[in-house]
Amino acid sequence: MAKTSEVVSRIKNMFRLVSKDMDPADRFILFAAQNVAESYISKRGRGFSLYRQDNLYQRVTCFDMESIDSYDCGIVEFKNCKLLMRSVKKLPDLIYSRLGNTLKEVTSIDNEHTFTPSTIAQARRDSKRLTKNTQKNFYVVDGYLYITNSAVESVNLYLISLDMYEVNEAKGCEKSCKSAWEYEFVAPSDLLEQVIRETASQLQIMVQIPEDESPNLNSNEK
């Protein structure tokens, strides 16, 4: 994958070929490019082809968890859990599609145990069963990672997030000292050129839209 700085530079150069008088900020270009990349990744997430693209997934090591009271966590579906762990920090921003989110795997630090992905809807169904659910599941709720029936204090994650700097900051170990611009730009490798062209095209359209100097007047009054 190309570095973030390289992708932003290429988009800016394409943009300047058409709009020489405009110079959008690098962060604005990056935000636009990430939105385009996210839409493509989300579309691929509707099928199963996304899971075959290992180059998009990143490993977050030593992601810290803390024990919380299942009655006080505010999620009624967890009230019958004997043990409940929640991540100390929010997860890096995930991408969502109709098949779920891009948190593919959660394991113990030694990778000996893999936790089972589940949803609040499934937890609600499990809570109605006569037998207690002792499955060690993981859930994503309001950006936090929850793990039931386990006292694990730190886990490894395998996920896709557009912000590689944020992914690095989430690590409890093996952190890198690179700046945000030195990380790879996250996009399907076979669609990177399309992402660059579409972002440049969107920026050109944005600067061509004239600003309405009288937004509160109707067409007859302007």
| Bridge partners, 103 (sequence order) | 159
At residue 79, the 3 state secondary structure works out as coil
Choose between 90 and 16: higher pLDDT: 90
22-36, 103-117, 118-132: which has the minimum mean pLDDT?
118-132
* 60, HSE (Cβ side, Cα atoms, 13 Å): 31
pLDDT tens digits for range 141-170: 999 999 998 999 999 999 999 999 999 999
pLDDT surpasses 60 at 209: no
The per-residue pLDDT of the chain, averaged, comes to: 84
CB count in 10 Å sphere of residue 25: 10
Burial of residue 184 (CB within 10 Å: 0-12, 13-18, 19+) is middle
Please, is 87 exposed, middle or buried when counting C-beta atoms within 10 Å of its C-beta (0-12, 13-18, 19+)? buried
CB 2 within 8 A of CB 185: yes
The average pLDDT across 109-128 equals 87
Q: What is the DSSP string of 85-116?
A: EEESSPPPPP-EETTEESEEEEEETTS--BPE
At 133, is the pLDDT very low, low, confident or very high (cuts 50, 70, 90)? low
pLDDT surpasses 70 at 220: no
Are residues 127 and 77 in contact, defined by beta-carbon separation less than 8 angstroms?
yes
168, 183 in Cβ contact below 8 A? yes
pLDDT digits (tens, 9 = 90+) for 34-82: 999 999 888 876 665 665 666 789 999 999 999 988 777 778 778 777 8
Low-confidence winner among 93-107, 147-161, 201-215 (lowest mean pLDDT): 201-215
Over range 195-214, report the average pLDDT: 76
Residue 4 is given by DSSP the state H
Annotated domain spans of the chain: 4-196
